[in-house]
Structure 1
Amino acid sequence: MSSATLTRNHVPRERTRLLHRFSTRHASWIPVFAAIAILLAMLIAGQLYFGTFVTPRMLSSLLLDNAYLLVLAVGMTFVILTGGIDLSVGSVMAFTGILGARMLAGGVPAAVAMPTMIVCGAAVGLLVGVMVQVFDVQPFIASLAGMFLARGLAFVVSLEAIGVKDPVITWLQSARFAVGGWYLGPEGIAYQPNGWYITPTGIIALLTVAAAFWVLQYTRFGRTVYAIGGNEQSARLMGLPVARTKLLVYVISGSCAGLAGVIFTAYTGAGYSLNGIGTELDTIAAVVIGGTLLSGGSGYVIGSLLGVLVYGLIKVAITFMGADASWTRIIVGALLLLFVVVQRIIVARSGRR
């Protein structure tokens, strides 16, 4: 056998070895790459099918329409990384939204109303965290109690929708920071001045993602969150502050839900006690699609961002097709099942190693 043949046979084996080594050392990134692949496939398929799917306006509105969900997903990522769950986020968003609308309608400045909304969300999160950590209540039950509590408080504040006309709140949604950009149109690649834009709510959501990424990846608190999700008993034996960390992750989730209440109130222009019904399930689905393990210990907030974008893109595609909105649930359910299977495979491989 010639040396050239040996070289050709060696290259595929070396590539396979490198690929196996990467997948072994970075198995937690595989679901994230899968989310990226799905997102790109949806964009390409939508462009090929509709012709004018991938435009600056659509991509900009994708973040605009899902900014509140992205903030909720950030808080949920912290909780799921510890192996917990938080079913109260949708109700907390509704409660803080209707509370903020009531305060603004009563003449309270936005500079006071918005921090109050976030603090109230953090208070509900703290209550859920106390039930989980101090009274050893299962996270599902504790957050379910928090969900009923927040929804009940929203009904106490008002049963009717309350419009918001405060200039600060309306500015959060109506302001557009536009830049020129290239896009793929029906005639090919074209340049459109002021094609891309971002709103203050989108900026807040992206800053929340950036802050969460830094906390989880570069702080002792973030490393403790991953350690608890990996093995809580081992984290205790290592002397890590397990109790304090588990309390704080629920406070973070509640604070994000309060911030999402601010964003959603600006998005809809009103507060309503029935807002956010089922949003907690959408949030969990987005986080799981983004690659965070439901068992905890593995996942990235960047993945949650991708999961929200995939979820939002599904809704946009359904709208373009003119199909019934129920198809959104069907497709999200199928993706969720797919990613849970991928997670189980990753966990099984990790167990064998």
Structure 2
Amino acid sequence: MASVNVIKPKTRMSNSNILFLIAAVIFVLMYLFAIISYPGSFTQFQTFFDLFNLNAPLIIMTLGLCIVMVGGGIDISIGSVCGLVTMACAVFLESDKGNIGGAILISLGIGIAFGILQGYLISYLEIQPFIITLSGLFLAQGLLTTLHKDPINVTMPAFVRLRDFDIVITWLGTKNRLGVFIPCEIKPGTIIVVILLILLASVMKWSRFGRNVYAVGGNSHSANMLGINVKKTMFLTYVISGLTAGLAGFVYIMTTGAGNVGNASGAEMKAIASAIIGGTLLNGGVGNLLGAPIGTLTLLVINELIRAAGVQSNFQAMVSGLLLYFFIVLQSIIMSLRDKKRFSLALPSWLRLSNKGQPGN
């Protein structure tokens, strides 16, 4: 009796994964263009690591914001909360009882407090997220200027050692013009980014909470009918966003070593742009946390290209705005085509398990 070969249907790539793939390809092409245009700078490994070293707070904020946006919400207070945390930590560290452990607790405490307040008002009282987080933005800015108006340079010896600490990669680096090998250096903030990315991406992909967030963002009424606690899920997304904003504040002051009223100013807009470029939709239900650093790095590479070209700094905002327009339109076109079954990508069999954590997205 002849055997019959059963042809298994190909797994259709989720919306979240396809948008992430597009963002990743665009970033790689853009970085290759930067290497070709300015090989003296972008071919150095340290240049790539510095994108993480100097911008770790922004990536951390973007991770938390992505979770909120996947759940169908928005949080525009994260930049001001981050700035408030930097000043609070600076004041505490320069006091007689200042210590690093206490500063970390202050950072996380402030972030969680804002997350709980805003999450409760948005999820349980059903007030518009934009209004509530805008109020949180003003509240954090007011507390920041009330706490201290002048810049504070942290001089506590233990904190200075932490600020100046580098992880040296002895086998990776670049030779300078004199032929001396200079190894690459990684800041602690970059390690925090990697750990947080792995943790949150795993939670969103494989945990029940992550599946609930995608379901609520896709259609909250359907999620409620499926027995998902919609209000609790939304509440937790804002708590996570507040927590990451607080952590970003500590990493920020660990990077700069000073508290200032201008710290993280406008970071919430950069985080929103980074999330969208990384493949997270504004209307919720679609997004991949791995796209958060991709979107952030894409914006940063553009800024570095403009700076290397010697163009005026205000041109950076113009190009970032145009890029954001491009990604929003591109996402709309792709989602429209996929809804009409005209655009589809199939995953190979060895990648099919990667879609299990995202129901229908």
Both proteins in one fold, TM over 0.5: yes
Cα distance change on mapping 1:341 and 1:56 into 2, 3 Å: same
Q: Do the aligned residues in 1 keep the contact of 2:15 with 2:335 (CA within 8 Å)?
A: no
Equivalent of 2:159 in 169, 181, 187: 169
Q: CA deviation at 1:343?
A: 1.7
Residue 167 of structure 1 and its aligned partner are, at CA, apart by 3.8
Query: For the Cα contact (< 8 Å) 1:120–1:258, is it kept in 2?
Result: yes
Corresponding residue of 1:217: 205
The aligned counterpart of 2:63 is 74
Q: Does 1:36 align with 2:36?
A: no
Give the conservation status (yes or no) of the 8 Å contact 1:31–1:339: no
Match of 1:254 in 2: 242
Residue 274 of structure 1: aligned partner: 262
Q: What amino acid sits opposite 1:45 in the alignment?
A: F
Match of 2:49 in 1: 60
Judge which range, 192-201 or 73-82, deviates more.
Answer: 192-201
Q: Look up the SS of the partner of 1:46 in the other structure.
A: helix
Q: How many residues align?
A: 330
Structure 2 distance, partners of 1:239, 1:171, is 51
Bigger CA drift: 301-310 or 328-337?
328-337
Normalised by the length of structure 1, the TM-score is 0.88
Secondary structure of 2:185's match?
A: strand
- Structure 1 pair 99/272, CA: closer, same or farther in 2 (3 Å)? same
Matched, 1:233 2:227: no
CA contact (8 A) 1:172 1:199 kept: no
Q: How many Å apart are 1:214 and its aligned residue?
A: 0.9
Q: Which residue of 2 aligns with 1:3?
A: none
Alignment match, 2:83:
94
CA distance in 1, matches of 2:159, 2:302: 28
Report 1:100-119 matches (<5 A): 100-107=89-96, 108-119=98-109
User: Structure 1 residues 235, 171: closer, same or farther in 2, change over 3 A?
Assistant: farther
Deviation sequence 1:26-76 (CA, Å, 0-9, x none): 333222222222222222212222221221120111110110001000110
Q: Is the 8 A contact 2:166 2:186 kept in 1?
A: yes
- The equivalent residue for 1:136 is 126
Counterpart CA distance in 2 for 1:183 and 1:46 is 19
Structure 2 unaligned segments of length 5 or more: list them. Answer: 1-8, 342-361
Q: Kindly report the root-mean-square deviation, in angstroms, between the aligned alpha carbons of the 2 structures.
A: 2.2
Distance 1:133 1:27, change over 3 A: closer
Distance 1:210 1:25 in 2: 21
Q: Counterpart amino acid of 1:243?
A: K
Offset at 1:333? Answer: 1.2
- The verdict on how the C-alpha distance between 1:186 and 1:196 changes in structure 2, with shifts beyond 3 A counting, is closer
1:335-346 aligned within 5 A: 335-346=323-334
Is 1:308 matched with 2:301?
Answer: no
Q: What whole-Å deviation, never above 9, does each CA across 1:288-310 have from its counterpart, x for those lacking one? A: 00001111111111011111111
Q: Where does residue 13 of structure 2 map in the other structure?
A: 25
* Residue 15 of structure 1: aligned partner: none
Paired residues of 2:112 and 2:239 also in contact (CA < 8 A): yes
Distance (whole Å) between structure 2 residues aligned to residue 40 and residue 319 of structure 1: 19
Quick check: 2:176–2:182 contact (8 Å CA) kept in 1?
no
Give deviations 1:229-263, integer Å, cap 9, x for gaps.
Answer: 01101111111121111111111111111111101
Contact kept in structure 2, 1:122 and 1:255, CA below 8 Å: yes
Instruction: Give the structure with the larger helix fraction.
Output: 1
Q: 1:336 is aligned with what amino acid? A: L
Instruction: Please state whether the residue corresponding to 1:61 is helix, strand or coil.
Output: helix
C-alpha deviation, 1:193, in angstroms:
5.1
1:167 and 1:299, CA in 2 relative to 1: closer, same or farther beyond 3 A? farther
Partner of 2:139: 149
Report the alpha carbon displacement of residue 185 of structure 1 after superposing the two structures with TM: 8.7
Match of 1:198 in 2: 186
Q: Please name the residue that 1:298 is paired with.
A: 286
Cα deviations by residue, 1:5-34 (Å, 9 ceiling, x for unpaired): xxxxxxxxxxxxx9xx66x53333222222
Q: 1:158 aligns with which of 134, 140, 148?
A: 148
Q: Per the alignment, in what secondary structure is the counterpart of residue 301 of structure 1?
A: coil
Deviation for aligned residue 1:122: 1.0
